[in-house]
Amino acid sequence: MQPAGPIETAHLFLPLHEELLALLRGLASADWDRPTIAGSWRVRDVAAHILDTSLRRLSMQRDDYRLAPGDPISDYRDLVGHINRLNADWIRVARRFSPRVLVELLEVSGPAVAKLLSALPPDGEAIFSVAWAGEDASKNWFDVGREYTEWWHHQAQIRQAVGAAPLDGARWLRPVIELSMYALPVAFAGADLPEKSAVAVRVSGDAGGSWSLVRTGAGWRLWRGEAERPALLAKLDADAGWRLFFNALPEEAARKRIAFEGDAALAARFLGARGVMV
């Protein structure tokens, strides 16, 4: 095994954005109102959300323009609530925009974000920490990777809703799966196992691979590769993986699609891992 390290994704933003634009430009009028797996959001709402987060990042990170939150943020729950309110506020406004306007705005915002993120030094301090991974401060490569997983999985929601082919090749999906593994140390933080105990994850398919958590005196550490004789081995395919980590796989369905060998209590912790703010 090797210690988990940086995952480069900045070069993927522009081609991923081009895939999104090609998808949206080809939609029929009725497609924009199709329901998605993103709660009550329709296709148009998911597209508008991608635009919103892009405009916010450009404003804050490129232009250093920030507004103080309306409510104090003292913990993770406060942060989730703040983000949810921002998202909901924008969706209400964006329903005034036509699909054509949304696409035209995305044509401007997407390349600007790709340029911004590509210019960041990977090991520099990120403007945002990756809170779902339990970090108070993060490196740019991780914040950029987190943003990539957001762009990818929201496009996946649209693709599923309109019956378009998923972007599930190794180029696109492998970084999503690997970045999501950083949610596991948080999910297993309360599992008090002996030092050197391990949890292994085996993801099948071209976008898959193997990862392990190993218990150390300082907590759980993520590794690439499969540990020998783990206390839990989780076996799943990449499609089930991204759906689980992005809150799109109900527990009953997850238990049918993920095979576990080992401690049932640890399996329950794995099913609770999320690579997104919830």
For residues 237-262, give the mean pLDDT. 97
Mean pLDDT is lowest, of 33-37, 71-75, 79-83, 155-159, for 71-75
Mean pLDDT is lowest, of 78-87, 94-103, 263-272, for 78-87
The architecture of the domain spanning 2-167 is Up-down Bundle (1.20)
pLDDT at 145: 98
Judged against a pLDDT cut of 90, whether residue 72 lies above it is answered with no
For residues 77-83, give the mean pLDDT. 92
Condensed to tens digits (0 to 9), the pLDDT of residues 206-242 reads: 999 999 999 999 899 999 999 999 999 999 999 999 9
pLDDT band of 252, cuts 50, 70, 90? very high
For residues 79-86, give the mean pLDDT. 92
Judged against a pLDDT cut of 90, whether residue 68 lies above it is answered with no
For the entire predicted model, the pTM comes to 0.96
Helix or strand or coil: residue 166?
Answer: coil
| Structure letter (DSSP) for residue 164 | P
- Domain 181-271 part of CATH 3.30.1050.10: yes
For residues 4-19, give the mean pLDDT. 97
Domain ranges for the chain: 2-167, 181-271
For residues 12-39, give the mean pLDDT. 98
Condensed to tens digits (0 to 9), the pLDDT of residues 159-191 reads: 999 999 999 999 999 999 999 999 999 999 989
